[in-house]
Structure 1
Amino acid sequence: MEMQTEKKGRFKVPHVYVILFSFIIIGAICTYIIPAGEFDRIEQDGRTIVVPGSYHEIPENRTTILNVFESIHKGMIATAPLIFYIFIVGGAFGILRATGAIEGAVHSMAKKIAGREQLLIPVLMTFFALSGAMLGLAEETIPYITILIPLAVLIGFDSMVGTAIVLLGTSAGFTAAFMNPFTVGIAQGIAELPIFSGMYLRIIFFVIFLTVSIWYVMRYANKIKKNPKASVMFGEKNALIDSSDSDQTFPFTTRHKLAFFVLLGTLVGLAVGVIRFEWGLTQMTGLFLIMGILIGLVSRMNFSSMAESFIKGCEVLIMGALVVGIANAILIILREGLIMDTILYGLASAVDSLPPQLAALGMYIVQCLVNYIVPSGSGQAALTMPIMVPLSDLLGVTRQTAVLAFQFGDGISNIFTPTSGYFMAGLALGGISWIKWVKWIWPLIAIHYVLGAIFVTIAQLINYQ
C-alpha cells in the first residue's frame, strides 16, 4: 500500500505534445501582454533583412482560441517539406531493414572493430562535425542514425550513443563552425566582413568545442559498457534494434552488400547534390525514395512487400515527425501575434544599456534567447545581425566578435529546443523521446553555453578582427 501511494505521488513528466501545446498557450497569452510591433525590412542580395532603428508599434493582433488550434495546422503546413522528408527517409530505411542488411552489416562490422569500439566515437563525431563546420550540413546527416544505433548497441553502447554521434557531432561542428556558409558566411556578409575571415581563432574554438563534446559521449559510453543498467535507455524498446541485441547470428550476404552499395551511392549522391547543385529537402527526399525502391529490387522483394515495409518505416516516425509541425506552431503564434520583433527589440535594448566590457557577452545572451524562437541559422542571421552590427559599432564591440556571438548563440540550443526541426527529426529516427534526451544532454548544454561565453569574452578582450 505504501509503495502504491509513493508511486501515485511521484511526478511524471508530461508528454512532449503536452509540453509543446503549453508553449503555444503561453505564446498566445503573450500577444495580450506584449505590444505588437515590427521592424522595416528590405531586400539585399536576395535576402530580406531588418532595417536598424526602424522598430515601431503597430495595431495589435491578439491570438484567439481558434487561432491557437489553427496554428498547429499552419505549423504542419509550414514544415511539411521536413515532415515528409522524415517520413520518406524512414520509409526507405524501413525497406532496408526488411532486407536484413542492417543486421548483417552491423554484426559483421562489430566483429571487425572488437576491442577498439571506443575509436568509433571520436572518428565519426569528427567526421560529422567537419560536415557541419565546413558545409553547414544538418538534416543531411540524419539518415546515418538508422545505421549507427544498431551498431552502437551491438558493441555494448546504447541508442543514445548512436544518436549522439550524429546529432552532437554535427551540432558541435555547426555551432563552432569556421566556414559554415549558412551561418558564418551570411552573418559576415551582413556585417560587411570578408567571408570566412577570422578563421584561425574559429578553428581553435572548433577543436575545443568538439573535444568537449566527444569527451561527454565517450564518458557516458564507457559507463554503460561497464554497467548496461546505467543507460538512460535501459529497458526501452527501439524499432531499430529489435533484433540487433540478440544472440542470433546474422549473415551478410551478397544481396545485403548490394543493398549497402545502393545506400553508399545514395549518401555520395546526397553529398554531391547538396554541395554541387545546392539541393533542398525536395531533391533529397526524392533521392531516398529512389534508394528505397532500388534496395528492394536488388534484394528481390516484390513491390507489395516494398510498400508494406515502407509503411512500417513511416509508422515508427509518426510521433516524431508531427512534433516538428507542432513545435513550429509556437513560431506561428509569435509571428501572427506580431510580437516577434517586439521581443527582439526589447532584447537588443537591454544590450544597449550594458557597459562596454559586458556588451559582447550581452549580445551572446540575446542570440541564445532568440534561437529558441528562430531556430534557423540563416533566418536568425537575417533577423538579428542588421541590428547587432550597428549596435556593436556603438558599444565598441568588433563586428567579428558580433558574428561570433551570433554563431554560438544560434547553434548551441539546436540540439535542445523542440522548435529545432532537424533535431526533432533526428530524435524521431533514433526512437528517443525529447524528455529522455534533455535529461541526458542538459549538463553538456550548460558546458557549451559556458564555453560560448568564454570564447566571446576572449574575442572581446583581444579585439578580435
Structure 2
Amino acid sequence: MKKFTIPHTYVLLFFVIVVAVVMTYIVPAGQFDRAEDPDTGRIFVVTDSFEYVEQSPVSPFGLFQAIPKGMVQASMIIFFVLMIGGAFGIIQSTGTIDAGIGTVVKTMAGREKLIIPIVMFIFSLAGAMLGIAEEVLPFYPIMIALAIALGFDSITGTAMILLGAGAGFAGAFANPFTVGIAQGISGLPLFSGLAFRIVAYVLILGSSIIYVYRYATKIQGNPELSATREEDQNRSYQLDLNDLQEMTGKHKAVMAVLGVGMILLALGVGLWGFYINELTALFLVMGITAGLVGGLSMNGIAEEFIKGAQDLVYGALIIGLATSIMVVMQEGNILDTVIYSLANLVQGLPTVLSAIGMFFVQTLINIFVPSGSGQAAVSMPIMAPMADVVGITRQTAVLAFQFGDGFTNVISPTSGYFMAALAIGGIRWEKWAKWMFPLFLIWSAIGIVLISIAVLIDYGPF
C-alpha cells in the first residue's frame, strides 16, 4: 500500500482557499454594522447589529484573484521578510555571525542548554508587555544558526523565539494590542486582573521552556531524530564547528553596527511607534552599513542581498497565500456570519461550559482573523455583553479571548508572522504542526483550567 505523504504547504493552503470559496456558496452572507470610537479611532462591531445580506459567492476565477489580493494585503510583511533575508545575507557574508556564534559556542561549552530558558524568557517579556510578534523576525536567522552550532536543530532555534514570544503573547499580562484593546471594549479598567494573568504567563511560559528543553536534549544526543535534519544539513548557511573564526576588528565593527541597530529597534518599537515600514528601513540601513564596515564592495553588497532574499521567497509567498483565505471570506461576506454563528453556540450552556466555549470560539475565530487587535475589535463587542447574559464576568471573557487568540498564533497557517518565522527557519508547516501539537494541547489544557477557575472565583472586577 502506498504510504500517505502530507501535501506541500502550498497545496494545503490552496485547498483551504478552495474550501473558503465553497463556503461562500453554502454559508449565508451577513454583516455587522461597524462604528469608530471617537477617542481612539478604533473600528468596532456594533452589538446586536448583525443582519443577513444578499449572497455574494466568490467565483472560480475570483478564487485565483484572491491570491494576488492576499499578496497585496500581506505585502508589508512579505517584503519585510525578504528585506530581513537580504540584510542577513549581507551581514552573514562578512563572517561576523560565524565569529560571534563561535565565541558563544566556546563560552557555553558544556552548558549549551542554558541558552534555551534565557532566550525564551527574554522574548516572552517582549510578547507579554509589548505584544511583539513581527518585530522579532530579524532574530530568527541568528538564533537558528546558534542552535545548530550548539548541537540542536532549526526547530529548537525557531522555538526559542517563536514560543518564547508566543507564550508571552498568549499569557500576556500587559499587552496593549490584545488585553488592552479587549478590556477597553469591555469597559474594564486597563490591565486589571494583572495577578491572575501573571500566573497564566508563568504556567504557559514554564510549560514551553520544559517542552523545548526536553526536545533539545533529545536532539543533542540523537541528531538523526530531528524532523529538519535534512534541511539543516542542506542549508546555504553552514557553520563549521571545526573551523570557528576568531573575532577580528572588522567583525567587532560589524557587531557594533548590529548593536546600535538593536538599540534603535528597541527604542523604535517601545517609544517611537516603529512598525513594519520603519523596521524594514532600519534593517536595510543595518545591512548596507554592516556590508561597508565589513569590507564588501557595493556590488558585493547587492549580490549578497539577492542571495539572502532568495532563501526566503518560498516562505514569503506562504504569507500571502494565508492572507488570501480571509480575502475570500470577506468578499463572500461570510466572515461575520461565521463569527456570529460561533458566538451563538455558547449561549444556553452552563456557566463554566459557556466560558470554555468562548475559548474554543475565540480559537476558531483566530484562524479566520489572525490579528489580535482585529479579533478583539470583531469579537469582544459580541462576547462582552454575552458574558453578562450567561453569568460570567467580562474579565473572564477577555481571558478566553486572550487564550483563544494567543494559542493558535503559533500553529495556525493563517497567522502571518508565524508563517514568516517558519519561512525564515526553512521549516515546513506540516513538520512544525506535528512537533507543536502536543504543546498546543498542553496550553489548551492550562487555558481551560484557568478559565474554569476564573469562573469559580468571579475573576473581575466585573
TM-score (norm. length: structure 1): 0.97
Deviation at residue 243 of structure 1 after TM alignment: 2.6
**Alignment check: 8 A CA contact 1:149 1:241 kept:** no
**Alignment check: 8 A CA contact 1:255 1:298 kept:** yes
Q: How does 1:43-192 map to 2 (within 5 A)?
A: 43-44=36-37, 45-192=40-187
Give the whole-Å Cα distance in 1 for the aligned partners of 2:101 and 2:245. Answer: 9
**Alignment check: 8 A CA contact 1:238 1:431 kept:** no
Question: 345-354 or 395-404: which moved more?
Answer: 345-354
TM-score (norm. length: structure 2): 0.97
Alignment gaps of 5+ in structure 1: 1-5
1:429 aligned partner:
424
Task: Choose which of 213, 216, 219 in structure 2 pairs with 1:218.
Answer: 213
Deviation at residue 159 of structure 1 after TM alignment: 1.2
2:270 aligned partner:
275
Give the whole-Å Cα distance in 2 for the aligned partners of 1:241 and 1:207. Answer: 37
**Secondary structure of 1:11's match?**
coil
Alignment gaps of 5+ in structure 2: none
Give the whole-Å Cα distance in 2 for the aligned partners of 1:430 and 1:405. Answer: 30
Q: How does 1:443-458 map to 2 (within 5 A)?
A: 443-458=438-453
2:325 aligned partner:
330
Question: 135-144 or 243-252: which moved more?
Answer: 243-252
Deviation at residue 248 of structure 1 after TM alignment: 2.3
Task: Choose which of 298, 301, 305 in structure 2 pairs with 1:306.
Answer: 301
Alpha-carbon displacement from aligned partner over 1:403-453 (angstroms, at most 9, x marks no partner): 000000001010101111111111111111111111111111111111111
**Alignment check: 8 A CA contact 1:352 1:395 kept:** yes
Alpha-carbon displacement from aligned partner over 1:347-406 (angstroms, at most 9, x marks no partner): 111111212231111111110110001010000000000000110011111011010000
Task: Choose which of 278, 292, 295 in structure 2 pairs with 1:297.
Answer: 292
**Secondary structure of 1:49's match?**
strand
Q: In the alignment, is residue 339 of structure 1 matched against residue 344 of structure 2?
A: no
**Alignment check: 8 A CA contact 1:39 1:55 kept:** yes
1:25 aligned partner:
18
Task: Figure out how many residues of one structure are paired with residues of the other and give that number.
Answer: 458
Deviation at residue 240 of structure 1 after TM alignment: 5.8
Give the whole-Å Cα distance in 2 for the aligned partners of 1:235 and 1:274. Answer: 36
Give the whole-Å Cα distance in 1 for the aligned partners of 2:157 and 2:347. Answer: 43
2:454 aligned partner:
459
Task: Choose which of 383, 389, 395 in structure 1 pairs with 2:384.
Answer: 389
1:39 aligned partner:
32
Deviation at residue 253 of structure 1 after TM alignment: 1.4
Give the whole-Å Cα distance in 1 for the aligned partners of 2:69 and 2:396. Answer: 37
**Alignment check: 8 A CA contact 1:150 1:240 kept:** no
- Going from structure 1 to structure 2, the CA distance change for 1:445 and 1:241 (only over 3 Å counts) comes to farther
Q: How does 1:348-427 map to 2 (within 5 A)?
A: 348-427=343-422
**Alignment check: 8 A CA contact 2:154 2:232 kept:** no
**Secondary structure of 2:44's match?**
strand
Task: Choose which of 4, 7, 16 in structure 2 pairs with 1:14.
Answer: 7
**Secondary structure of 2:57's match?**
coil
1:284 aligned partner:
279
2:243 aligned partner:
248
Cα-Cα RMSD? 1.1
Task: Choose which of 228, 232, 246 in structure 2 pairs with 1:233.
Answer: 228
**Alignment check: 8 A CA contact 1:85 1:285 kept:** yes
Q: In the alignment, is residue 440 of structure 1 matched against residue 435 of structure 2?
A: yes
